[in-house]
């Protein structure tokens, strides 16, 4: 649990930092388009896009660990106790399997970026597209972790019911 807390703290901090940086760059971009500045900054749009990709990549892993993704709970709201825990574990493992399936496509997408440079800053897009691969892998690991956590909770409930029973 301490490892999860440390990881989520780092991810949350990186998310906040990237969000604040993105806001600063967008404000600079807006100010650059007013008469206050002689000429707009050409790099602000690219940096904003890159920060947005970073923000989504890191924030998505954090969302999995905080269990904050949007869910349709019409079916889930009817489940309780062990059935809910089993369902959540199953769901985490299915999503992890889907993310594992996406990893080869993430590598292909990242390698497509190796042939491209961003127009203004001349940054190799492999690094930017690589963030999406990091997000896929990170969310997959987080989904497995959350599934295992649910199974451990199920085991504890079973042990408690045996000791109380």
pLDDT, averaged in runs of 10, over the chain (165 residues): 88 95 93 82 90 93 88 78 89 96 94 88 91 95 94 85 72
Distance in angstroms (rounded) separating the CA atoms of residues 148 and 88? 10
Whether 92 and 146 have beta carbons less than 8 Å apart is answered as yes
Whether 143 and 99 have beta carbons less than 8 Å apart is answered as yes
Domain total for the chain? Answer: 1
Give the burial class of 154: count Cβ atoms within 10 A of its Cβ; 0-12 exposed, 13-18 middle, 19 or more buried: middle
Q: Is 117 helix (H, G, I), strand (E, B) or coil?
A: strand
Whether 147 and 100 have beta carbons less than 8 Å apart is answered as no
Element (H, E) at 121: none
Which two tokens mark 164?
Answer: 């109380």
pLDDT for residue 165: 60
Element (H, E) at 94: helix 81-113
Distance in angstroms (rounded) separating the CA atoms of residues 72 and 131? 28
pLDDT for residue 40: 79
pLDDT for residue 13: 95
pTM of the model: 0.85
Whether 9 and 61 have beta carbons less than 8 Å apart is answered as no
pLDDT for residue 142: 95
Q: Which residue segment(s) compose the domain that 118 sits in?
A: 2-164
């Amino acid at each position: 649990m301490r490892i999860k807390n440390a990881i989520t703290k780092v991810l949350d901090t990186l998310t906040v930092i990237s969000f604040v940086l993105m806001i600063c760059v967008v404000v600079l971009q807006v100010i650059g388009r007013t008469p206050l500045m002689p000429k707009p900054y050409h790099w602000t749009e690219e940096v904003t896009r890159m920060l947005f990709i970073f923000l989504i990549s890191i924030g998505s892993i954090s969302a999995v660990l905080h269990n904050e993704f949007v869910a349709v709970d019409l079916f889930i709201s009817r489940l309780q106790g062990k059935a809910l825990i089993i369902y959540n574990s199953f769901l985490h493992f299915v999503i992890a399997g889907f993310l594992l399936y996406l990893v080869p496509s993430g590598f292909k997408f990242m390698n497509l970026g190796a042939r491209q440079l961003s127009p203004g800053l001349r940054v190799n897009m492999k690094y930017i597209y690589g963030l999406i691969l990091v997000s896929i892998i990170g969310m997959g690991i987080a989904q497995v972790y959350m599934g295992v956590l649910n199974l451990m909770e199920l085991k504890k409930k079973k042990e408690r019911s045996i000791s109380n029973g």
